[in-house]
Amino acid sequence: MRWSFGGLLVLVGVISGFVFGILVLAWPLINFTPTLDLGAVLNALAIVLVAVLIDYGYYNLASFKKSDSELLLSLVDQAKQAFSELKATSRLCSTGKKLSKQELSQLLAAARELSNAVRSIQLGLDECKISPEKMDFDKVKEARESLHNSLTGGPFPGPYNDVSLSAIQIAMRDMGDRLTLLGFAICHR
pLDDT in tens, 87-119: 999 888 876 778 889 988 999 999 999 999 999
Q: Among 167, 168, 161, which Cα is nearest to 88's? A: 168
Rounded Cα distance, 21 and 88, in Å: 72
Domain 67-187 -> CATH class = mainly alpha
Question: Which pLDDT score, from 0 to 100, does residue 93 have?
Answer: 81
Question: Which pLDDT score, from 0 to 100, does residue 79 have?
Answer: 97
Q: Among 155, 27, 48, 163, which Cα is nearest to 98's? A: 155
> Confidence band (pLDDT; 50, 70, 90) for 20?
confident
Tens of pLDDT, residues 161-184: 888 889 999 999 999 999 999 999
Rounded Cα distance, 165 and 151, in Å: 9
Q: Mean pLDDT score of the chain, rounded to an integer?
A: 85
Entry pTM: 0.69
Own/partner pairs for 123-126, CB < 8 Å, 24+ apart?
Answer: 124/71, 124/72, 124/75, 125/72
